Structure 1
Amino acid sequence: MRDQEPGPGHPERRLTTKEAAELLGVKPETVYAYVSRGQLSSRRVPGGRGSTFDAEDVETLARRNRRESNGTPGAGAEQSVRTRLTLIDQNQNRYYYRGVDATELAARHSYEEVAEWLWTGRMRHGTTFTAPRASVEAARRAVDALPEHTGPTDRLRVAAIAAAVADPLRFDLSEGAVLGAARGLIPTLVAALPPKLPTHRDGDSMAQRLWGRLSRQPAAQAPLHVLDAALALLVDHDLAASTLAVRVAASARAHAYAAVTAGLGVIEGPLHGAASGLAHRLLLDVLDHGSAGPVIAEELRAGRRIPGLGHRLYAQEDPRARALFALLEEIPEAAPALAAARDIVVTTARHAPLHANVDLALAVLTTSCGMEASAGETVFAVARTAGWIAHALEEYGERPLRMRPSGLYVGPKPPRPLPE
């Protein structure tokens, strides 16, 4: 049944969750995933447990989804991108790197090994990454010149640009040259971040090096393993917004450093890489209050989405979150934050059946290990750099400039007189 509520001047049509799901052709859980990502807004039914949705908003989203699924691409545009890298199985709530379960890869292999698997399809056991000295020196000089309040993604972006300038071979787009640049760029990015603990030793893993940039607590084995797994789990996730930006840059034959910089420019939004920072702050609020109830109530009262919940590609719990939560269970210091995260999920479920995503799991890690709210964003950016390189390599093998859609002009019909 449609819920008719009079508005100023004309009635506003409201749809139930079931009606919205039917109109969109999705499961009810997916409707709430649209809400969590800001694509729909909901309104709580007075005195009830359900929600209603503005019919016009739902119809607009349905039309857009149909266009994306069935629309005819414009000249030079492509509606989908063929890739051999990552498959997301929404029915099974799993995802795969080159056909291998990504959570199993992350449980058994280091971040560096998973990156090599994604790049080459070969497993290089015990591989480590080494940053060229000139690259690190250039990146550190550039980053040290930034204001003290500069955020981590800004630092990484500047470091990537400096590393590019230090590499005279950056315009070589052959696979060997790009992979060589990648194996040096990732440790350069980490080395350019301000240290909180003594610097790493040669041969340390990327997780060990990154830990010293995120926490002042000594790196115990179990938390370090969780960080390494988080890096591996976040290497790639199909065509996320930042990855699409990387492929657009690579389609124009920008070099690998420039392609990575394009990705870093996208992830700062609260709906992408920075989402874990919002979940971190939410967790701290819940821990301070001792209960999720008043915190969630205030978030909903302010009209804000609850960070760390829901994912448009998964109707159930994000498999990356599930894998990290299982590892965090082995860390006694993480118990309070884990309990707070569960409280958030259970409390919010009374309003919307949303499940935990990887941002909430990252927030549990960062709050439990004495890291700042921006630490999850740093982990995400460093991890995803490997995936961006993989996508850039794929795009270099495609027709140049194919990522060029045509605009659908909806402005005033020409010709118009010159403005006075």
Structure 2
Amino acid sequence: MAIERRNLLAGAAAAPIAAALPLAGRRARAQAANTIRIGVLNDQSGLYRDPTGPVSVACARLATQEFAARGINVEVIAADHQNKPDVAVNIARQWFDRDGVDAIADVGASSVALAVADLVREKNRVMLNTSTATSDLTGRACTPNTVHWTYDTWMLAKSTGGATVRAGGDTWFFITADYAFGHALERDTANFVRQAGGRVLGGVRTPFPGTTDFSSFLLQAQASGAKVIGLANAGGDTINCVKQAAEFGLTRRGVKLAALLMVLTDVHALGLRTAQGLVCSESFYWDLNDRTRAFAQRARAVAGQVPLTMHQAGSYAAVLHYLKAVADMGVAQAKADGRAVVARMKAMPTDDDCFGPGRIREDGRKLHPAYLFEVKRPEESRGPFDLYKLLQTTPAEEAFRPLGEGGCPLVRS
């Protein structure tokens, strides 16, 4: 049978293309094998968007850009978990099973983090937790696949709660967000209050998310006669509580507000006239020293002129240290064994512009100093983000719960 010339020519032309397809596929697979994928999972649209959100994503990407010279391909993707554990777990599972994600960063809400940590352990990947508060992540819920970087409820309780009791605030009433974070923060702070000889007169738990009117809860707190109202909440909840307490004139009547988790974005949103005099604890402040100011300049070049929180600084620092461990052990081994990566991160000293030198303990707790700040009066501020003055520093080895007290099964007795 005769073969038409046009068909022969078409087949000849197609042959190089067909031969090239396996080569292109091999190249793509080779590139994927040498690529680390990091998923930033956080609140992109809700109460915690400002202290984490898109700026945390930008800070993670900044770390990868600064690490690019080490010859490792790094991709950063992001998703909004809406502060819902089931949504977060579904995203994380898809990232691991379909998208080849090697590490999840940020994470946020404590209920979300506890759920995602179980999946990360099951899949033997890495969780770089930089914005979750609950100290249970390095206690009963610790895993060999998790690093808890920035802060936790124990640190906040000791720094802010302890300072408030020493200043005479020895009777407390708690307004607590009704989920894992709020419960842990109230628990840890109440323990410090009682250890210092103070008393907890009562408390109320507020639905999370969705509560915007805290007036009835604030009136209950006032009626208790407590000297201190402990705000065991965060983000928009803390902002609303402080604003409404000011409207009721509670602080003018001698009641002290203890904002147990308040960060720079919250103070910026409140304004100095409303927030002045409040104390809070963070492990990072952009104007703390030359290194933090240098980081802030680089971060704002990619994220815009925004206040920077310890959560966002944590995203940069944790991703940077993770990539150092990957480079040290090799991409192939790092992609194959998340536990081994975390073990290498613990074995290597940490050092970055946000938190300075430090280390990661065997329970996954990253150690660095904690700082107690007081919000400046309007006349003390020199610019839009000049909001804090430093009151005291807690050294790294004292800032977090002692290793043997958390109940982490990874800790050798």
Structure 1 length normalisation: TM-score? Answer: 0.25
Of structures 1 and 2, the larger Rg is shown by: 2
Larger proportion of strand: 2
Structure 2 length normalisation: TM-score? Answer: 0.25
Higher relative contact order (CA 8 A, sep 6+): 1
